[in-house]
Amino acid sequence: MNKYPKIGIRPTIDGRQGGVREALEVQTMNMANKAKELIEANVKYMDGTPVQCVVASRTIGGQADASIVYDEFSSENVVATLTVTPCWCYGTETMDMNTQTIKAVWGFNGTERPGAVYLAAAMSAYAQKGMTAFKIYGHDVQDSDDDSIPQDVQDKILTFVKGAIAVGQMRLKTYVNLGSSSMGIAGSQINAAFFEEYLGMIVEFVDMTEILRRMKLEIYDKAEYEKAMNWVKEYCKEGIDINKGKEFPEIITKSKVIEADKDWDFIVKQALIIRDILFGNEKLKEIGWEEEARGRNAIAGGFQGQRQWTDWLPNGDFTEAILASTFDWNGIKQPSAFATENDTLNGASMLFEVLLTNKAAIFSDVRTYWSPESVERVTGKKLTGKASNGILHLINSGASALDGTAAARDEQGQRTMKEFWNMTEEDIKACLAETDWCRANYEYFRGGGFSSHFKTNAELPVTLIRLNIVEGVGPTLQIAEGYTCVLDEEVHKILDERTDKTWPTTWFAPILGAPGFESVYDVMNHWGSNHGASVHGHIGHELITLASMLRIPVTLHNISSDRIFRPSIFDGFGTKDLEAVDFEACRTLGALYKK
């Protein structure tokens, strides 16, 4: 099977020969090729490769043609199809009836031989058969010789493709569960059925002792270890040691079994080993470890850490931060969705964001709501700008992606966060320069280690999300678009140090006005967990489309209705209360991979 999931493009046509079909062949194939060009120029796989499309070798005027195209697509790993037509076609005789593909239909909005009429007929048939398909219908009527793709049609095609390719990249990949339950966090008590039935993924369980085994038996690339250590010494500057001057009880001091000056040695090996467990490493085969070299076919994972590990060994903050970032000692790299405290639901949230944006996702505690009144009481100063209605403190124990510094620069020299292939050497150095590594607080982490410490030092559009599982309902998704905020330096310092001054901070202000978003307090009050994942850009509409493909209802969001793009069949469940419609449609249709 081909490595990459692909989009199959199906040019459908009025099958009547003797003038009608012949007159439409060129226009129909032109639509298909235009769609291919649009997709391949704008959407990329996780590794940065442009998404691949397969255009059917013929136009489809009936199921005899369709059957040939099914065979063509079956050898190409086609996970989704975009049916395009400028004309009326015979509905059920030309539709994609393959139950294994995600479907969309673009019907040309013209009047001569309107593809929009076929589009409506096809959507009706799909709904009647209980099959999901996305309806792509341009807002304005086009002339029959207009071969352009209107902007609103482009937006829908690309939103559909991004979601479908995300679904395809997750299928039969692995979530690697390193460890077990962390500190009673429900998300770290992995629900394998969720990954299998909704995401089409496989869950692998690896005990944390596997890391120690590989350290003891030296199952890692020693040359890369030396390279990584030299990189750490040059670029990972140490910050404050919060433990200095403290007198700790014996229960803490005797738990530090790795000497403090050996922490970096330990955690760099840990990072190499965990990466190899997930993704494999051919270098291990060269030193005699063929099984270990294969990895676990992972696309995401998480590390338990607390407390059975961190009560006596250095924490996983460095590993988690570096895996999640768009770079390491080897230069730029694909960011990984890797969950702190093995919160698998936040790991899956990060995965959605990485798949849709190719940017680093930031794992955070959704720690504190700061009202304007509370900030003024504590600091004597008022919040201003986007922060003026209050802010959420997104902070985590040193494991957030270093891209969260917002130290990278765009073409205009403005701070931003980038797709990994756009990161420059200057961007990498800037992110490292704005990060220091603080020795872990021994009261929290008896085994020591280092935590990344920075602040998001720019006002950027971001999307914060969280997957939850509700008994009797199943998985649900929460989405909050908003902005990172840059606070007055004194205000930042006072608020930040009330939590832990060795951890990375992002101040977040959600966009208000939607139901559930009446105030920043309401967002905090409705949030389904102590964790959330954020990513650069306002991608809430893309997440809603992806969730609808997976049949995951969205319980909280601030996305305007004109941006929401779900399968046409959802309209059959109602058009007024869209949240209730989403729930009922997802419940009726069932999980994408439900047996």
Which candidate in 263, 365, 481, 542 is catalytic?
A: 365
| Catalytic residue check, 365 | yes
Of the CA atoms within 13 Å of residue 263, those in its CB half-sphere come to: 25
| 3-state per-residue secondary structure call for 45-65 | CCCCCECCEEECCCCECCHHH
CA distance 79 to 298: 19
Q: Are 585 and 573 in contact (CB under 8 A)?
A: yes
CA distance 187 to 55: 41
The helix/strand count (H/E) of the chain reads as 20, 23
Which candidate in 65, 341, 459, 481 is catalytic?
A: 341
DSSP-assigned letter for residue 373: H
The response to whether 152 counts as a known ligand-binding position is: no
Residues ≥6 apart with Cβ < 8 Å to 80: 5, 7, 8, 101, 102, 103, 104, 160, 161, 164, 165, 167, 168
CA distance 582 to 595: 21
The response to whether 365 counts as a known ligand-binding position is: yes
The response to whether 139 counts as a known ligand-binding position is: no
Tokens standing for 7? 């989009």
Q: Which residues in 383-504 belong to E strands, given as ranges?
A: 391-395, 408-409, 415-416, 436-439, 450-453, 461-470, 474-485
Question: Positive or negative CA dihedral for 192, 196, 200, 205?
Answer: positive
| Catalytic residue check, 341 | yes
Of the CA atoms within 13 Å of residue 350, those in its CB half-sphere come to: 32
Neighbours of 461 (CB within 10 A): 13
Q: Which residues in 430-470 belong to E strands, given as ranges?
A: 436-439, 450-453, 461-470
Residue numbering of the annotated binding site for Mn(2+): 341, 365, 531
Residue numbering of the annotated binding site: 341, 365, 531
User: Any idea which residues carry the catalytic annotation?
Assistant: 341, 365
